[in-house]
Copies of this chain bind each other. A is one copy, B any other.
Amino acid sequence: MARKPPTSPRKNASQERSRATVDALVEATARILVKEGFEQASTNRIAEIAGVSVGSLYQYFPSKEALVAAVIERHNEEIMAIVRTALKKIADTPLDKAVRQLVTVAIEAHRINPKLHRVLAEQIPRKHLKDVEAFNREVHTLVRGYLESRRKEMRKVDLDVATFICVSTIESVAHNTVLNQTEMLTEKMVKVLVEETTRMVVGYLR
């Protein structure tokens, strides 16, 4: 790191430059993943698309995997931001409205960048997906927290089991809705699916 120069601007300048490079690399990786798939995403190609040299790529990411992991993390973070916000808003909402909101948000989240979501879901060797564990755990914890606070509206049920089933269900409906038939994805259809899923989950919890 050497002696830091006394002026912050220089430091910031360099930090910003680094940050820009890192962003460009992650963005380029995501773009290639979407446009050409995982197998085409070579490090040299990523660097080229990012407008950066391979050397720089390796200055910031120790391996190709790290780069893919960064893309995944960024995507997950975007999803989690939505989910967290939704769960906060929901906090004091009764079960049926809350579940409907949750289902809606799940589909929305999967739709942020559906192509990327598909590639991530379908083509990435899961080696990279350890982060996903943490992501799953957080969702579980948040949903469990909400359900706990609404226990009086619910029948007697093991909270972990209920959480597991609800999250699985909502997630899979959202996932399949987004990934499956494009024709199915009329807004009307989505609304139907939201209603139906909500009905099922709420019916189950009550």
> Which residues of A approach B to under 8 Å, CB–CB?
2, 37-39, 51-53, 122-123, 125-127, 129, 157-158, 161-162, 164-165, 168-169, 171-173, 176, 192-193, 196-197, 199-201, 203-204
Residues on B with C-beta less than 8 A from A201 are: 200
Known contacts A157-B196, A199-B204; A168 and B173 CB within 8 A of each other: yes
CB distance from A137 to the nearest CB of B (A): 11
DSSP class of A's interface residues: helix, strand, loop or mixed?
A: helix
Known contacts A172-B172, A201-B200, A203-B200; A125 and B161 CB within 8 A of each other: no
Tallying the copies of this chain within the complex gives 4
Please tell me which one of the listed residues B2, B39, B173 contacts residue A165 in the complex, with CB atoms under 8 A apart: B173
CB distance from A48 to the nearest CB of B (A): 9
**Whose C-beta in chain B lies nearest to the C-beta of A55?**
B2
Residues on B with C-beta less than 8 A from A123 are: 125-127
Residues on B with C-beta less than 8 A from A203 are: 200, 203-204
A-B contact pairs, 21 of them (CB 8 A): A2-B51, A2-B53, A37-B125, A37-B127, A39-B125, A39-B127, A122-B125, A122-B129, A123-B126, A123-B127, A161-B193, A165-B193, A165-B200, A168-B169, A168-B173, A169-B169, A169-B172, A172-B172, A200-B200, A200-B204, A204-B204
